[in-house]
Amino acid sequence: MKILLIEDMAGFADPMRQQLEARGHEVTWIIGAESVGADRLKGILAGKDATPLTDQWDGDTGRLIEVVYSDFALALVDGGLIGPVDSGGPIVAALTQAGVPAVGISGGGAGNPPLIAAGAIAGLPKEHVVLAIKGDVLVAAEVANDKDQDRLSSRFDCFAQKMRDKADKARKAGEKFDYGYPVLASAS
């Protein structure tokens, strides 16, 4: 299955991409868009000097790729992006209009309600995405084909709460919780 991953932080995008590819998916990763059209967008590839948590759009047209929505079965979209299109909302709206299901993956989940309002089928905090893939909660084929938005939202919300509870328990015990992102392990 071809999946479009739109995430501006390499420290989050790389582990997501690796997990999806390990499950046989073909992933196209961009950090944002220069422009959004009805059937395609001009995506921005990560910069060669990007760090795990920072990148920027330098106007380098060599970083642009054409993304045709119909090439993808599913998209995972962050709320805040890099580039002239600095929000996932317009991208989610265009993907939805083109019939491509999108899942919001904003940090802490706070940016997911606007993505859902734009047409995302559900939202999941980005820090839980790797665990959701590993735990078969975010199974790309199932998510792409599930038309019951309430069921997906409930499934993701329950999973996120369970992970928050586990992380809180670990923190209270003086332990680290492994979210599956090396950048979070080194930051905590």
| 186 pLDDT higher than 80 | no
Residue 91 domain boundaries: 2-187
- Mapped onto helix, strand or coil, the DSSP state of residue 171 is helix
Q: Name the token pair of 157.
A: 């919300």
Q: For 12-51, what is each residue's pLDDT tens digit? A: 999 999 999 999 999 999 999 999 999 999 999 998 888 8
Q: For 67-121, what is each residue's pLDDT tens digit? A: 999 999 999 999 999 999 999 999 999 999 999 999 999 998 889 999 999 999 9
In the prediction, which pLDDT does 187 show? Answer: 52
In the prediction, which pLDDT does 151 show? Answer: 92
In the prediction, which pLDDT does 149 show? Answer: 86
DSSP secondary structure code for residue 76 in this structure: E
Which residue has 């990560």 as its token pair?
46
CA distances from 6 to 29, 37, 106, 150, 187 (A): 6, 16, 10, 23, 23
In the prediction, which pLDDT does 109 show? Answer: 84
Cα–Cα distance, 17 to 28 (Å, whole number): 8
| 188 pLDDT higher than 80 | no
Q: Could you give the number of structural domains in the chain?
A: 1
Three-state SS annotation for 8-61: CCHHHHHHHHHHHHHCCCEEEEECEEEEECCCEEEEECCCCCCCCCCCCCCCCH
CA distances from 170 to 14, 100, 133, 165 (A): 25, 37, 21, 9
Cα–Cα distance, 157 to 93 (Å, whole number): 22
- Report the CATH number at residue 53: 3.40.50.2300
Nearest Cα residue to 125 out of 101, 143, 149, 105? 105
Long-range CB pairs of 135-141, under 8 A, 24+ apart, other chains included: 135/159, 138/103, 140/1, 140/3, 140/20, 140/23, 140/25, 140/73, 140/74, 141/1, 141/73
Cα–Cα distance, 176 to 33 (Å, whole number): 35
Rounded to the nearest integer, the mean pLDDT of the chain is 94
**Torsions phi, psi of 61, nearest 5?**
-65, -15
Q: What is the mean pLDDT of residues 170-175?
A: 94
